[in-house]
Amino acid sequence: MPEMRHSAARGTRRLLRDRRFAVALGQLGILLLIALLWEGSVAIGWLNANRAGEPSAIWNLFVAALKNGTLWGNLKVTLYEELTGFAIGVGGGTLIGLGLWWSRTLSQVLEPFAVAFNGIPKIALAPPMIVWFGIFETSKIVLAASICFIIAWIAAYEGTRFADRDQVDMLRAMGGSRWDAFIRVVVPSAMPWVVSAMKINIGLALAGAIVGEFVASNHGLGFLAVQATIMFQMSELWMLVFVITLVAAIQYLVLLWVERRTIAWAETGWR
């Protein structure tokens, strides 16, 4: 019997691995098909390379930018702005959201302000941030952090509201303090919500940093995109879009891995 269970488990893992490979292969095939159709349409004149760019030129520009260091130098600036703002916004918002579990009255007082601020179009925050904090990294960090903050706050607080009340009561009946209930039940229950918000916020933080660079900057991927637009260099602009998309995809995959580990911990964290 144990051998049969192990064999079934191996078979299931193999099936899942094969399925993931098939999905990845299919996605790669779609991308290659789009690139071939795009390149072919430019070659036969259906698309204007000056307006639409072309995949071969995009790739050549990408390789050249890697070799001369232009891409990496500006990418580091954008990543610094994004990840610093992400850490500040998500960290601060999560702490406040979790902390509001201790006071329902305070949470009800603050909730309308969080909802109202979350409704502000995020791009509208860029100009005042530039005015207040200047054109360098600080304004982009503050913009990214402010975008992430409210979402992290709301998600963390919603997660605390779904903590199992029976588990909290059981822990208290066994002599545990309210702090014990918070650490062993409420926080683990809220973590899937927190990580889900992080998956949203990582993209918003990147967008916030780049939008800030669009408005006013002298370095970063957003700055390069503005310069490419001004010079009407569409292949270079698409190359930067490709890089931004690749960065966002990698970061999202990292957070998917974190989410799987977090859910596993949340299922046993209260015990």
176-194 residue pLDDT tens: 677 777 777 778 888 888 8
Q: How far apart are CA 205 and CA 35, in angstroms?
A: 28
In this structure, are residues 231 and 265 in contact, taking their beta carbons and an 8 Å threshold?
no
In this structure, are residues 140 and 118 in contact, taking their beta carbons and an 8 Å threshold?
no
Mean pLDDT (the chain, rounded): 81
CA-to-CA separations, 87 to 84, 93, 121, 147, 264, in angstroms, rounded: 5, 10, 21, 12, 23
Do both 210 and 253 map to the same domain? yes
The pLDDT-based confidence of 195 (bands split at 50, 70, 90) is confident
Q: Which residue has the higher pLDDT, 5 or 179?
A: 179
Q: Which residue has the higher pLDDT, 100 or 7?
A: 100
- DSSP letter at 103 equals -
Do both 169 and 254 map to the same domain? yes
Q: What is the per-residue pLDDT for 271?
A: 46
Q: CA 84, 89, 93: angle at the middle one, nearest 5?
A: 150
The pLDDT-based confidence of 166 (bands split at 50, 70, 90) is low
Q: Is 33 helix (H, G, I), strand (E, B) or coil?
A: helix
- DSSP letter at 180 equals H
Do both 11 and 60 map to the same domain? no
Q: What is the per-residue pLDDT for 270?
A: 44
Do both 119 and 33 map to the same domain? no
Identify the CATH number of the domain in which residue 140 sits: 1.10.3720.10
Q: Which amino acid is at 161?
A: R
Do both 35 and 158 map to the same domain? no
Chain segment 112-129, per-residue pLDDT in tens: 777 777 777 767 777 788
- Residue 19 corresponds to which tokens in the numbers above? 């399925």
Q: Output b/e per residue, 136-170; b: 16+ Cβ within 10 A.
A: ebbbbbbbbbbbbbbbbbbbbbebbeebeeebbee
Q: Output b/e per residue, 200-237; b: 16+ Cβ within 10 A.
A: ebbbbbbbbbbbbbbbbbebbbbbbbbebeeeebbbbb
Among residues 107, 118, 100, 113, which one has the least CA distance to residue 197?
A: 118
The parent domain of residue 5 ranges over 1-47
Chain segment 134-149, per-residue pLDDT in tens: 778 888 899 899 889 9
Do both 26 and 100 map to the same domain? no
Structural domain total, the chain: 2
Do both 18 and 109 map to the same domain? no
Residue 16 CB coordination number (10 Å): 10
Q: How large is the greatest C-alpha to C-alpha distance in the chain, in angstroms?
A: 77
Q: Is 9 helix (H, G, I), strand (E, B) or coil?
A: helix
Q: Which residue has the higher pLDDT, 151 or 24?
A: 151
Among residues 261, 260, 258, 265, which one has the least CA distance to residue 86?
A: 258
Do both 35 and 62 map to the same domain? no
In this structure, are residues 35 and 55 in contact, taking their beta carbons and an 8 Å threshold?
yes
Mean pLDDT for the stretch of residues 52-57: 80
Q: Which residue has the higher pLDDT, 96 or 17?
A: 96
Do both 225 and 257 map to the same domain? yes
Do both 78 and 38 map to the same domain? no
Q: What percent of the chain has pLDDT over 90?
A: 11
3-state helix, strand, coil in the chain (%, to 5): 85, 0, 15
Do both 71 and 35 map to the same domain? no
- The pTM of this model reads 0.80
Mean pLDDT for the stretch of residues 107-112: 76
